[in-house]
Structure 1
Amino acid sequence: MTTILIVEDEQQIARVLQLELSFEGYETIVTHTGTDGLLAFHDQPVDLILLDVMLPGMNGLDVLKRIRKHNETIPIILLTAKSEIQDKVNGLDYGANDYVTKPFEFEELLARIRVALRFTTKAAPKQEQALEFEDITLNEQTREVWRAGHLVELTVREFDLLAHFMKHPRLVQSREQILNAVWSYDYFGDTNVVDVYIRYLRQKLDQPFQLPSLLYTVRGVGYVLKEAAHEA
């Protein structure tokens, strides 16, 4: 089912959008600030984003720019006020697919959503991009991960972290390097978040199958993906 992320600070508008889109058969995720919208985008898979421009804290255009650094293809439709002409121009320049002016007719919004999704589907590359290391296979196109023939369910952030390691095998990286590469936006927090997600990956990749971990801790430095150690 298609999932739409709604980033709208006016809760009444957000609730109406959620109800109407759910009625049309879409899954929805609702956030009310730019920061929460960005976190939701990174933490769970979505197919399209409805993004209000005027948001508290981090505004919609900043959110748009940060998402485009990470993902160039996900369709993003801006929700703008009638007077925000420059914001509309800037939004399209920054990579928005379309915009809808408030107040808008829901049928028009639906039509724009269908067009954006249809265009993205047609433009999607057909080739599959698979990364392999030891008994782990990661497919960037389907976003599937397999360990020793077992399908592993990962969140968006867990997938991106594993993909980063698989693109840089045997390279020891500090927490700061990992944070900068995977959490590509300005993350307001400490590097302990890396430790947390490494633990999540180990729990999902190793423990269920009683397999040795391929993600090693390098004390005083960070982490590395390398071949499992075999006892003599």
Structure 2
Amino acid sequence: MNILIIEDEERVLALIKRSLEEKGYTVTAAFDGYTGERLAISNTYDLIISDIILPQVNGLELCKSIRKLKPEVPIILLTALGTTDDKLEGFDAGADDYLVKPFDLRELHARITALLKRNGTKQAELPTVLKCEDLELNLKTKIITRGGKDIRLTPKELKLLEFMMQNPNRILGRNEIAEKVWDTYFDTGTNFIDVYINYLRKKIDKDFAVKLIHTQPGLGFIFRAAHEN
């Protein structure tokens, strides 16, 4: 994990840097806001720690600048200013956490661990593109293609496809599909889910040799390539 520390007090910076390196982190240091901003924007860091009162560019402006170009990177602000208004100003600038000096290094380590875990989990759970064979679903743009061909779906068909692509190679029962896609339960005696599955099949499977949606009699449906075991 790479961490950038921006702190003009050399003693404080050296203390934090040494403690993080002892924990196995790779640490880059900057002594002023301008250098810190340049490093943050031109390099990739897993987390940034910045003082607020800095030479050249203060921590709040630095935080705003980083947020515009790198909205996902966690930022912890350090400061001697600990009033509620000060903290709110820091959060409004885009900080993820706020630590008031003097602080215990164990608390800093705990905050870092929590932010890195949260950020890593969020990225793992939210891939940009879902893929299966030559089918692709872009979660940001909601564009669906198969074999390079654009596929248009209704909002419910899209939600159903997204759910199935996020849960490949396992049987999805009708009740689970109803709950996760329609936020309710349907009478399993009706064919409502089957109707939508057929709509989806016609659009993503009908014109392609490899079928992706399969019926498991008496159980539900499974999303996988036909040639997979």
TM-score in terms of structure 2 length:
0.54
Q: Structure 1 residues 128 and 5, CA, compared in 2 at 3 Å: closer, same or farther?
A: farther
Q: Which runs of 5+ in 1 are unaligned?
A: 130-232
Q: Which runs of 5+ in 2 are unaligned?
A: 131-229
Report the alpha carbon displacement of residue 127 of structure 1 after superposing the two structures with TM.
Answer: 2.9
**Matched residue, 1:4:** 3
CA distance in 2, matches of 1:119, 1:28: 20
Q: Is the 8 A contact 1:4 1:47 kept in 2?
A: yes
Quote the Cα distance in structure 1 between the aligned partners of 2:63 and 2:42.
16
- What is the match of residue 49 of structure 2? 50
Q: Is 2:102 the partner of 1:103?
A: yes
> 2:45 is matched by which residue type in structure 1?
V
Map 1:167-186; keep pairs closer than 5 Å. Answer: none
Report the equivalent of 2:208.
none
- Residue matched to 2:32: 33
Aligned Cα RMSD in Å? 1.5
C-alpha distance in 2 between matches for 1:84 and 1:10: 21
CA contact (8 A) 1:80 1:88 kept: no
Inter-partner Cα distance in structure 1 for 2:14 and 2:54: 16
CA change 1:82–1:61 in 2 (3 A) is closer
The one-letter amino acid of 1:100's match is L
Whose radius of gyration is greater, 1 or 2? Answer: 2
The equivalences for 1:75-154 within 5 A come to 75-83=74-82, 85-124=84-123, 125-128=126-129
Task: State the distance in 2 between where 1:65 and 1:19 align.
Answer: 27
CA drift at 1:72 = 1.1
* 8 A contact 2:82–2:100 mirrored in 1: no
State the identity as a percent. Answer: 38
CA, structure 1 residues 40+84, in 2 after alignment: closer, same or farther (shift >3 Å)?
Answer: farther
CA distance in 2, matches of 1:10, 1:85: 24
State how 1:62-77 maps to structure 2 within 5 Å. Answer: 62-77=61-76
Cα offsets for 1:102-158 (capped at 9, x unmatched):
0000000000000010111111132359xxxxxxxxxxxxxxxxxxxxxxxxxxxxx
**CA 128–23 in structure 1, closer or farther in 2 if over 3 Å, else same:** farther
Cα–Cα, structure 1 residues 27 and 128, in superposed 2: closer, same or farther, change >3 Å?
farther
Q: Give distance in 1, aligned partners of 2:21 and 2:5.
A: 12
Q: Deviations over 1:6-51 (max 9, x none)?
A: 0001011001111110000000000011110011112221110001
Deviation of 1:3 after TM superposition, in Å, equals 0.5
Amino acid in the other structure paired with 2:37: L
- Which AA in structure 2 matches 1:63? L
User: What SS does structure 2 have at the residue aligned with 1:79?
Assistant: strand
- For 1:12 and 1:116, locate their aligned partners in 2 and report how far apart those are by CA, in whole Å: 25
After TM superposition, the score normalised by the length of structure 1 is 0.53
Aligned mates of 1:85, 1:32 — CA distance in 2: 27
- Structure 1 residues 82 and 15: alpha-carbon distance in aligned structure 2, compared to 1, 3 A threshold: same
